[in-house]
Amino acid sequence: MSAFLTPLTGNKYERGGKGFGRFMSFKVFHQVFYSSAHTQANGKATKGCYCYDPFSKDDNLVSVGEAAGSGAHRFDCGITVLMQKPLADFKEYFILDGKDRRYNHTAEDIVTAVMDHFLIEFIQRKVPKHFSLDIMGATFNLYDYFHESLSIGGSKTEVLPIGTEQIKFDFNYFKVGEDQAKKHRLYFYANNRAASDLENISSGLNDKPFIETVGPNEKKYYYLVAVSSDFFRSSQSRDRITNLHSKVNFGGKNKSIKDHLIAIAKQHILEIEATYTTSRRAKMQSQVDHLIAIDPLLRRGLGGGTAADFVKKRSITETREQLASDLFVERFRRKFDFTKLDENASIEQLVDIVRTKIPEDAKEALAVYVAYRNHVIQIFRELLKKHDDGVATEDRVHQLIYPRYKDSDEIDYSSHNLWLLDDDLAYARYISSDRTPHGSARGKGEFAHDLLINNDNELMIVEMKRPQKKGYNATKEGSTNNPVDQLKKQIADIRKKKKIITSGAREVAISPDSMVRGYVLADWNDSLQSYLENEDFTITKFGGQMAYRYYNTLNLMLEVVAFDRLVDRASNRNEAFVQMLEGRSNYDRKTKGTLSGNE
pLDDT at 3 (0 to 100): 54
Query: How many angstroms separate the first and last alpha carbons of the chain?
Result: 99
Beta bridge partners of 48: 36
Find the range with the poorest average confidence among 222-236, 321-335, 506-520.
321-335
- Assign 283 a pLDDT band (cuts: 50, 70, 90): very high
Task: Using alpha carbons, select from 114, 150, 109 the residue that is nearest to residue 132.
Answer: 114
- Mean pLDDT lowest among 414-423, 569-578, 585-594: 585-594
Confidence of residue 10 (pLDDT cuts 50, 70, 90): very low
Range with lowest mean pLDDT among 11-25, 180-194, 291-305, 319-333? 11-25
410: pLDDT confidence band, cut at 50, 70 and 90? confident
Cβ-contact 157, 201 below 8 angstroms: no
At residue 596, does pLDDT exceed 50? no
Does 9 have pLDDT greater than 70? no
Contact residues for 383 (Cβ-Cβ < 8 A; gap 6+): 392, 393, 396, 397, 400, 467
Question: What kind and span of H or E run contains 233?
Answer: none
Is 399's pLDDT higher than 60? yes
Do residues 84 and 30 make contact, with C-beta atoms less than 8 angstroms apart?
yes
pTM: 0.45
Q: Write down the pLDDT at residue 359.
A: 53
| pLDDT for residue 336 | 56
The answer, yes or no, to whether residue 573 has pLDDT greater than 90, is no
Q: Please state the rounded mean pLDDT for residues 280-285.
A: 94
CA distances in angstroms from 456 to 283, 407, 552, listed in the order given: 20, 17, 21
How confident is the model at residue 171, as a pLDDT?
94
Mean pLDDT of 271-290: 93
The dihedrals phi and psi of 13, each to the nearest 5 degrees, come to -110, 110
Q: What are phi and psi of 240, to 5 degrees?
A: -160, 160
Q: Picking from 239-248, 433-442, 473-482, 507-516, which range would have the lowest pLDDT averaged per residue? A: 433-442
- pLDDT of 588 reads 39
Helix 257-272 to helix 274-294 angle, to the nearest 10 degrees?
Answer: 100
Residue 430's Cα: distance from chain center in Å? 34
Taking the C-alpha atoms of residue 240 and residue 246, their distance in angstroms, rounded to an integer, is 15
Determine the Cα–Cα distance for residues 511 and 37; give it in Å rounded to an integer: 74
Residue 159's pLDDT band (cuts 50, 70, 90):
very high
pLDDT of residue 61: 75
pLDDT of residue 456: 64
Q: DSSP secondary structure string, 25-46? A: HHTTEEEEEEEEEEE-TTS-EE
Report how far apart, in Å, the C-alpha atoms of 268 and of each of 27, 260, 272, 307, 409 are.
Answer: 40, 12, 6, 23, 49
Average pLDDT over residues 347-358: 61
Contact criterion met (CB below 8 Å) for 417 and 376: yes
Rounded CA-CA distance 374/411 in Å is: 22
- pLDDT at residue 499 tops 70: yes
- The DSSP string of 451-505 is EEEEETTEEEEEEE--TT-----TTSTT-TT-HHHHHHHHHHHHHHHTEEE-TTS
The segment with the largest mean pLDDT, out of 24-28, 71-75, 205-209, is 205-209
Rounded Cα gap, residues 352 and 347, in angstroms: 9
Q: Which of 154-163, 383-392, 460-469 bottoms out in mean pLDDT, i.e. has the lowest?
A: 383-392
Write the DSSP string, 527-587.
Answer: HHHHHHHHTT-EEE-TTS-EEEEEETTTTEEEEEEEHHHHHHHHHHHHHHHHHHHTT--SS
In angstroms, what CA-CA distances link 276 with 175, 226, 434?
15, 22, 43
Q: Identify the band that residue 370 occupies on the pLDDT scale cut at 50, 70 and 90.
A: low
Distance of alpha carbon 388 from alpha carbon 374, whole angstroms: 25
pLDDT recorded at residue 223: 93
Q: Strand, helix or coil at 448?
A: coil
Grade residue 417 by pLDDT with cuts at 50, 70 and 90: confident
Helix (H, G, I), strand (E, B) or coil at 302: helix
Stretch 188-203: mean pLDDT, rounded? 75
pLDDT band at 411 (very low <50, low <70, confident <90, very high): confident
Question: Is the pLDDT assigned to residue 202 strictly greater than 70?
Answer: yes
Q: How far apart are CA 573 and CA 376, in angstroms?
A: 13
Classify residue 330 by its DSSP letter. Answer: H
Q: Give percent helix, percent strand, percent coil of the chain, each to the nearest 5.
A: 30, 25, 40
Max CA separation in the chain (angstroms):
118
Identify whether the C-beta of residue 576 lies closer than 8 Å to the C-beta of residue 592: no
Instruction: Give the least confident one: 88-97, 225-234, 257-266, 426-435.
Output: 426-435
Q: From CA 151, how far away is CA 135, in angstroms rounded?
A: 27
Whole-number Å distance between alpha carbons of 19 and 506 = 84
pLDDT computed for residue 349 by the predictor: 67
pLDDT score for 11: 39
Most confident of 117-121, 347-351, 562-566: 562-566
Nearest to 483 by CA among 420, 417, 540, 561: 561
Residue 333 confidence class, pLDDT cut points 50, 70, 90: low
Cα gap 599→596, rounded to integer Å: 8
Q: Which residues partner with 168 through β-bridges?
A: 159
Write down the pLDDT at residue 585: 40
**What distance in Å separates the CA atoms of residue 380 and residue 385, rounded to the nearest whole number?**
9
pLDDT, average across residues 313-333: 83
Instruction: Grade residue 168 by pLDDT with cuts at 50, 70 and 90.
Output: very high
Residues in the chain: 599
130 vs 270, which has greater pLDDT? 270
Chain centroid to Cα 563, Å, comes to: 34
**Spatial distance between the Cα atoms of 246 and 165, rounded to a whole number of angstroms:** 14
Higher pLDDT, 268 or 403: 268
Q: What's the confidence (pLDDT) of residue 113?
A: 75
Strands (DSSP E) contained in 316-411 are none
**Residue 362, C-beta contacts closer than 8 angstroms, at least 6 positions apart:** 300, 335, 423
Residues 6+ apart with CB under 8 A from 340: none
Q: What residue ranges do the domains of the chain occupy? A: 3-104, 149-272, 276-333, 393-569
Residue among 119, 574, 169, 95 nearest 375 (CA):
574
Residue 347 backbone phi and psi in degrees, to 5: -60, -40
pLDDT value for 139: 85
Q: How far is residue 49's CA from residue 29's CA, in Å, rounded to a whole number? A: 18
What CA–CA distance (Å, rounded) separates 127 from 7?
A: 8
CA distance to 199, 231, 257, 297, per residue, from 249 (Å): 22, 17, 9, 36
